[in-house]
């Protein structure tokens, strides 16, 4: 029986590796992503976030699951429910628990609740409710603490201004308490990473090149004892990305890197198959040359077996 998603992420952390997670805002992207992961002999997640069926064309939980299952290869790829916010990008309350319980009932391999726009106590309570539901179904729960900017409707302030101020960085003391009380399995943290813009006015722009406070990531890893998650995996300087994995990042979310080639190619050619091939090539390049995780499935599986 293939290892569980929780085992894969823990094993990646133990082996000093990470599991990349590729977002699917357009359902035809699923096939080339899975093909690239298999061809590169890696382990990865295919993932869909609520905003990707609200603001893009992922359509919904069941539709994303159906597309995943058409090409599923559990030796290499699992399905993750990405960001389900308690308060969404437009400041609206979301019936997050109903969405996540639906994903659990459908058979998603892991889920994420995003209570990062809540006060700490409320984020812990919301995460605990989701973690309890996920664990009852035998799957892991991801949560978020800190402000990973980029999904808001307007432009961000200058990146260097944000980094210098440590704006939104996850606090170490809060992370320690959060890990202890929320029961989450993986924690998405902020240490200089940003999301790619999703608003119509800014989604086509090249993402700012980000860097990371690696010392801060190391302190968060030590304080929580959890596998950490890096959202906004596009545009981070390679030395910082690899350094983050060495500091405890065990899952890296990738969206803009593969979304924009799909959109640009489809707009230029009108040919979905050519857009899919653009996604395949970019996913292969990311795995081989950027995050350097090609050929690592065996090492992760060995770490699972040794656990």
Query: Do residues 303 and 6 touch, judged by C-beta distance below 8 A?
Result: no
Q: List, in order, residues 6 or more apart from 98 with CB less than 8 Å away.
A: none
Q: Which of 82, 88, 109, 208 is catalytic?
A: 82
Instruction: Give CA–CA dist 185/155, Å, rounded.
Output: 32
In this structure, the number of other CB atoms found within 10 A of the CB of residue 6 comes to: 19
Instruction: Give CA–CA dist 206/208, Å, rounded.
Output: 7
Phi-psi region of 127 (alpha: psi -120 to 50; beta: other; left: phi over 0): alpha
- Secondary structure class of 193 (helix, strand, coil): coil
Q: What angle do CA 264, 268, 273 make, to 5 degrees?
A: 80
Catalytic residue status for 82: yes
The sign one gets for the Cα dihedral 136, 140, 146, 147 is negative
Query: Do residues 81 and 133 touch, judged by C-beta distance below 8 A?
Result: no
Report the catalytic residues.
Answer: 82
């Amino acid at each position: 029986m293939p290892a569980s998603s929780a085992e894969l992420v823990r094993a990646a952390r133990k082996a000093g590796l990470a599991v990349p997670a590729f977002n699917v805002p357009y359902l035809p992207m699923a096939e080339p992503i899975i093909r690239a992961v298999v061809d590169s002999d890696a382990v990865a997640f295919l993932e869909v976030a609520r905003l990707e069926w609200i603001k893009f064309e992922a359509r919904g939980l069941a539709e994303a699951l159906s597309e995943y299952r058409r090409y599923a290869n559990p030796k290499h790829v699992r399905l993750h429910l990405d960001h389900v916010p308690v308060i969404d990008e437009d400041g609206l309350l979301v019936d997050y628990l109903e969405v996540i319980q639906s994903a659990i009932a459908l058979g998603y391999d892991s889920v994420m609740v995003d209570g990062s726009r809540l006060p700490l106590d409320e984020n812990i309570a919301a995460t605990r409710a989701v973690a309890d539901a996920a664990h009852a179904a035998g799957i892991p729960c991801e949560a978020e603490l800190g402000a990973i900017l980029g999904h808001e409707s307007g432009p961000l302030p200058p990146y260097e201004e944000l980094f210098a101020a440590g704006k939104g960085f996850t606090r170490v003391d809060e992370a320690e308490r959060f890990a202890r009380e929320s029961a989450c399995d993986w924690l998405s943290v902020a240490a200089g990473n940003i999301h790619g813009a999703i608003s119509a006015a800014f989604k086509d722009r090249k993402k700012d090149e980000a860097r990371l406070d690696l010392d801060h990531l190391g302190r968060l890893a030590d304080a929580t004892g959890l596998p950490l998650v890096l959202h906004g995996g596009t545009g981070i300087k390679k030395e910082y990305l690899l350094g983050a994995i060495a500091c405890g990042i065990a899952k890296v979310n990738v969206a803009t890197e593969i979304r924009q080639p799909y959109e640009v190619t489809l707009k230029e050619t009108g040919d979905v198959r050519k857009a899919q091939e653009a996604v395949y090539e970019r996913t292969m390049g990311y795995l081989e040359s950027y995050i350097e995780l090609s050929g690592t499935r065996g090492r992760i599986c060995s770490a699972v077996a040794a656990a």
